[in-house]
Amino acid sequence: MGKPTDLVQGTLDLLILRTISLEPMNGWAIAKRIVQVSGNVLQVQQGSLYPALHRLEHQGWIKAEWKNSENRRRAKFYALTAAGRKRLKSEVDNWYRLSNAIGLVIETI
Amino acid sequence: MPWVAVIRNTLRSLFKRRQLEVELHEEFEYHLQHEIEANLRAGMPPDEARLAALRLIGPISLQQEECRDSRGVAFFETSLRDVRYAARMLRRTPLFTAAAIVTLALGIGANTTVFTFVENILLRRLPVREPHRLAFLNRDGIVNVSYPTYLDLRDRNGVFSHLAAYRFVPVSMSVQLRENCRVWGYEASGNYFDELGIQPFLGRFFGPAEDDQPGANAVVVISHRLWRDRFASDPNVLGRQVKLNGYPFTVVGVSAAGFTGTELILSADYWVPLSMVAAIEPGSDWLRSRSAQNLWALGRLKPGVLQSQAEADLNRIAQDLAGVYPDILDRKTRFHLSTPGLLGQALRGPITTFGLVLTGIGALVLLLACVNLAGMLTARSSDRRREVGIRLALGAGKLRLFRQLMTESLLLALSGAATGFALAFGACRIFSSWHLALDIPFETAIRPNARVLCFTAAVAFATTLLFGLLPTLQTLRTDLIPSLKNAPGTRLRGWGVRDLIVTGQIALSVSSSSVPSWSCAACSARLTSNWASNPPTPFRPLSICACKAMIHSGAAPSTMRSSPRSPRFQECAPLVSSTIFPSGSVRTAPPLCVRTAPHHHHRKGERPSFIKSRRVI
């Protein structure tokens, strides 16, 4: 069972970037989506998403905009920037390389 | 990382803090409400729904703090808080703060003044094109060459793109009839301005073509200052006639305001071609004399030529010349190039030594100030043990406390530096307004500039480390329990920081007070010993003054020689009881000694009234 502290920082970044790569989303929706898509395996302590979101925003990988959400309340929606899209691609590549390597090690031994 | 975005976000974090704070709360609030609503829809009772939502989100204020940190400006914000706190702490002990700031202001002010001197005089470059390629010719400890030697050097060398020669001489300048002023300026070779690569403020400079025929081109370039003061900034000054030592010259140009010649501390007011020497110095023939070494030479190195290569080339020429003129040049003659601006090595050497001595004294004073302050802070640190103890007990990190205490030291240092800079500014103004009681226009104006300001800031940071580090570390070594009980703690150990500081302080004080007194004693001993071995002619200096009458007139030398005894000079006779005229050429204007009438005493430096009241010449 993955708890937030078990999520390597880089991994959380990757999850966030991947989640909002389809459409702009607010923090609540991102948290829900990660839990839902991972089949309840990745239980993120929801509040801890925000420091990561703010850091990614500060670094210019994602940008934020205040919009009305589905329940007509104002929410902060995050979307990938052009730089963020490139970053996501390289992060995904990295992830596959790393997990393949680990997989190889595990299978060989 | 997209740096543009990072910078934009950093600026936003710095200047829109309030808005970001509101948004941060709104964002968490939205999340919470959304979660609660979802739970309510799932059928939970309201209380339960809220608690479940809070559990899911986690510790909100901690997460918000992390969000703030992730904005990248935590450093600034913490610093700002530290500065505010430090200011409050310093205000609470006004006496300590005032003493510290005054101590530092004296130390930093002294160093800033010294550095202003060094920067303005030793580090300043001539205001010309590519000043680093200019080199002044020194030869075996002397800086002068004769005109024929200069021509040989100019024409035979392969290392200079230009080699100019010039000489600093006073003239009597007459702008209007019967009105003379004594000004100093250059007789310069025709390539002088080409070599410098500068532009005039008005008109033009003279070139090599105006320097090839002796006496042919009576043209003069005047300084911006002379144009302003003597010509009332006349825009039609070009083409006007002025008399230099009685010989008419035509003004062809005005130099730019920042350019006062190629010697930084001598400000020139005019430039005439060297070929006009005979007009300005009637009866002199030194342009043809190889033994009359009247010129300074300044060369512009060709691109890529090293100083050593240029020196080797000059020495080669000197060898050749020594073969032809063995009585003028020695075969062992060696040329040496130096940075221009201070008469080559002749002034640069002594001024550098002087600057180094001043820097040393300044550093000593500052060190002493730092040691003093370190002592004061150490005393204060024992007062602050309790505060530090409480903060440590509340979980403050040592690094955080270290930063806080050092901020306090930095604030002190910066306040001291600001006051010191103001002091230095005043000191420089006093120094600038001081005029040497000499006939030569020495430029003593020094002004702090941006480089000096950077220096002061650097000194402030250095002093912070110097006086703040030890006391701060000592404060942080506080043992928690005794400090909270306000017990004396670890003060009974043998040699502590405080003892070291006191020892250092005594050592520095003794040396800084004894070195100047030793120097003074040595100087005075030397003076008296000279006095004893070469006693001056016994005379009563009272009521004697040396005065110098400039008798340049362009008239025949024989007339000039008799002029001190001319009827007009004799008009002063009632006030002068006797006059001594040293023998020698009048052209070089030796000082005359005048004994004023007994009732006519004057103070040192004051001109006797008979000189003020009568126009002697």
Minimal CA separation from B16 to chain A, in Å: 14
**Chain A: nearest CA to B70, how far in angstroms?**
5
Q: Are B133 and B140 in contact (CB under 8 A)?
A: no
> Does residue A43 belong to the interface with chain B, where contact is any CB pair within 8 Å?
no
- Per CB-CB distance under 8 Å, the chain B contacts of A66 are 23
Q: Indicate if the pLDDT at residue B563 is higher than 50.
A: no
Cα(A53)–Cα(B1) distance, rounded to whole angstroms? 16
| Residue of higher predicted confidence among B339 and A78 | A78
Residue B307 to residue B338: CA distance in whole angstroms: 9
The type of residue at B206 is: F
Amino acid at B522: A
- Between strands B160-174 and B180-188, the pairing is antiparallel
Alpha carbons B338 and B67: distance in angstroms, whole number: 60
Residue B419 is predicted with a pLDDT of 92
Q: Give residues with Cβ within 8 angstroms of B59, minimum separation 6.
A: A47
- How many CB pairs lie under 8 A apart between chains A and B? 85
Select the residue from A54, A68, A85 to test the B interface by mutation, using most B Cβ atoms within 10 A. Answer: A54
Q: Rounded to whole angstroms, how far apart are CA atoms B467 and B337? A: 43
User: What pLDDT score does B274 carry?
Assistant: 86
Instruction: Give mean pLDDT, residues B399-421.
Output: 88
CB contact under 8 A, B28 and A47: yes
Would you say residue B159 has pLDDT above 80?
Answer: yes
Across-strand partners of B163? Answer: B299
* DSSP H or E segment with residue B306: none
Quote the distance between the C-alpha of residue B26 and its chain's center: 57
> Which of B14, B40, B66, B68 is the best substitution to test chain A (most A C-beta atoms within 10 A)?
B66
Residue B327: pLDDT over 80 = no
Residue B490 pLDDT more than 60?
Answer: no
Q: Which residue of B has its CA nearest to A49?
A: B63
Q: What's the CA gap between B362 and B107, in Å, rounded?
A: 7
Average pLDDT over residues B285-303: 83
Q: How far apart are CA B404 and CA B402, in angstroms?
A: 5
Contacts of B22 (CB under 8 A, 6+ apart): none
- Min Cα distance B37 → chain A (Å) is 10
Query: What residues pair up with B298 in beta bridges, in sequence order?
Result: B136, B164
Chain B interface disruption, residue of A25, A40, A58, A74, most B CBs within 10 A? A58
- Nearest CB partner across the interface for B6, out of A54, A59, A75: A59
Chain A nearest CA to B42, separation (Å) = 15
A interface mutation test: which of B12, B19, B23, B27 has the most A CBs within 10 A?
B27
A71 touches A32 (CB < 8 A)? no
Region B278-304: what's the mean pLDDT? 82
Q: What is the pLDDT of residue B587?
A: 42
Q: Which chain B residues touch A26 with a CB distance below 8 Å?
A: 30
Does B12 score more than 50 pLDDT? Answer: yes
- Strand ordering across the sheet containing B576-580: B544-547, B592-596, B576-580
- For residue B549, the model assigns a pLDDT of 55
What does the pLDDT look like over B540-554, one tens digit per residue? Answer: 445 555 555 555 444
- Torsion, Cα B579 B580 B582 B586, to 10 degrees, reads 10
Nearest by CB to residue B70, choosing from A28, A47, A51, is A51
Q: To the nearest whole number, what is the mean pLDDT of chain A?
A: 82
Q: Does A106 or B285 have the greater pLDDT score? A: A106
* CA angle, B81 then B84 then B87, to 5°: 150
Reported confidence tier of residue B422, pLDDT bands at 50, 70, 90 = very high
Interatomic CA distance for residues B216 and B208, integer angstroms: 12
Among A5, A7, A13, A28, which would you mutate to test the B interface (most chain B Cβ atoms within 10 Å of its Cβ)?
Answer: A28
Tokens of B361: 């004294």
pLDDT at site B580: 56
> What is d(CA B250, CA B224) in angstroms, rounded to the nearest whole number?
16
A91 vs B contacts (CB less than 8 Å): none
Q: Which residues contact B212 (CB under 8 A, 6 or more apart)?
A: B190, B275
Contact in structure between A72 and A65 (CB atoms under 8 Å): no
ipTM, 2 decimals?
A: 0.87
Which of A47, A69, A83 is facing B57, going by the closest CB pair? A47
Indicate if the pLDDT at residue B290 is higher than 70: yes
User: In angstroms, rounded to a whole number, what is the distance separating the alpha carbons of residues B140 and B121?
Assistant: 24
Tell me the mean pLDDT in the region B29-35: 88
Are residues A58 and B34, on separate chains, in Cβ contact within 8 Å?
no
Q: Does A85 touch chain B (CB under 8 A)?
A: no
Nearest CA of chain B to the CA of A52: how many Å?
Answer: 8
Find, in chain B, the residue whose alpha carbon is nearest to that of A51: B67
Instruction: Show Cβ contacts of residue B552 under 8 Å, excluding neighbours closer than 6 positions.
Output: B171, B172, B245, B246, B560, B587, B589
Interface of B with A (CB under 8 A): 1-6, 9-10, 13, 23, 26-28, 30-31, 33-35, 37, 56-60, 63-64, 66-67, 69-72
Closest partner residue to B63 (CB to CB) among A28, A47, A83 is A47
Give residue B526's pLDDT band: very low, low, confident or very high (50, 70, 90): low
Taking all residues of chain B, what is their mean pLDDT, rounded to a whole number?
A: 78
CB-CB: which of A52, A55, A75 is closest to B30?
A75
- Count other Cβ atoms within 10 Å, centred on residue B348: 22
Tallying the residues shown for chain B, one arrives at 617
Q: What is the C-alpha separation between B476 and B401, in angstroms, rounded?
A: 8
Instruction: Answer whether A53's CB lies under 8 Å from A63's CB.
Output: no
pLDDT at B66: 85
Distance, in Å, from the CA atom of B191 to the CA atom of B166, rounded to the nearest integer, reads 10
Contacts of A4 in chain B (CB under 8 A): 58
Residue position matching structure tokens 């030479």 = B297
- Provide, as residue numbers in chain A, all residues whose Cβ is less than 8 Å from the Cβ of B67: 50-51, 54
Location of structure tokens 């702008």: B175
Residue of A nearest to B60 (CA): A47
Mean pLDDT of A74-87: 89
The per-residue pLDDT for B603 is: 47
What DSSP string describes B404-418?
HHHHHHHHHHHHHHH
**Ranges B326-335, B401-410, B579-588: which has the least confidence:** B579-588
User: Do A10 and A87 touch, CB atoms closer than 8 A?
Assistant: no
**Residue pLDDT, tens place only, A47-63:** 888 888 888 888 889 98
Residues of B in contact with A65 (CB under 8 A): none
Q: Where are the beta strands (DSSP E) in B445-511?
A: none
pLDDT of residue A95: 87
* β-sheet bridge partners, residue B545: B594
Q: Is the pLDDT of residue B345 over 50?
A: yes
Rounded to the nearest angstrom, the gap between the alpha carbon of residue A28 and the centroid of all alpha carbons in its chain is 12
Spatial neighbors of B60 by CB under 8 A, at least 6 apart, are A47, B28, B32, B54
Cβ <8 Å between A83 and B23:
no
Name every chain B residue with its beta carbon within 8 A of the beta carbon of A52. Answer: 70
